[in-house]
Amino acid sequence: MSATPGTGKRLLPRRIIQLLVGLFLYGIGIAFMVRAGIGAAPWDVLSQGISLHVPLSFGLITVIVSGLVLLLWIPIRQRLGIGTVLNALLIGPSADVGFLVIPHGVHLWQQIVLFAVGLVVLSAATGLYIGADFGPGPRDGLMTGLHRRLNRPIWIVRTAIELVVVLVGWGLGGTVGIGTLAFALLVGPLCQYFLRIFAIRQRG
Task: Give the tens place of pLDDT for each residue, 6-64.
Answer: 556 788 999 999 999 999 999 999 999 999 999 999 999 999 999 999 999 999 999 99
* Residue 186 buriedness (CB in 10 A; 0-12 / 13-18 / 19+): middle
The rounded distance, in Å, linking the Cα atoms of 141 and 80 is: 9
Across residues 166-178, what is the average pLDDT?
A: 96
pLDDT: is 6 or 96 the higher one? Answer: 96
Q: Helix (H) and strand (E) counts for the chain?
A: 8, 0
The pTM of the full predicted model, rounded to 2 decimals, is 0.90
Say if CB 191 and CB 123 are below 8 A apart. yes
Task: Kindly give, in sequence order, each residue whose CB lies less than 8 Å from that of residue 193, ignoring residues fewer than 6 positions away.
Answer: 123, 127
Q: What percent of the chain has pLDDT over 90?
A: 72
Nearest to 69, CA basis, from 88, 41, 51: 88
Task: Kindly give, in sequence order, each residue whose CB lies less than 8 Å from that of residue 173, ignoring residues fewer than 6 positions away.
Answer: 48, 49, 52, 53
The rounded distance, in Å, linking the Cα atoms of 14 and 115 is: 29
Across residues 131-139, what is the average pLDDT?
A: 90
Say if CB 22 and CB 160 are below 8 A apart. no
What is the amino acid identity at position 63?
V
The rounded distance, in Å, linking the Cα atoms of 80 and 135 is: 7
Say if CB 117 and CB 38 are below 8 A apart. no
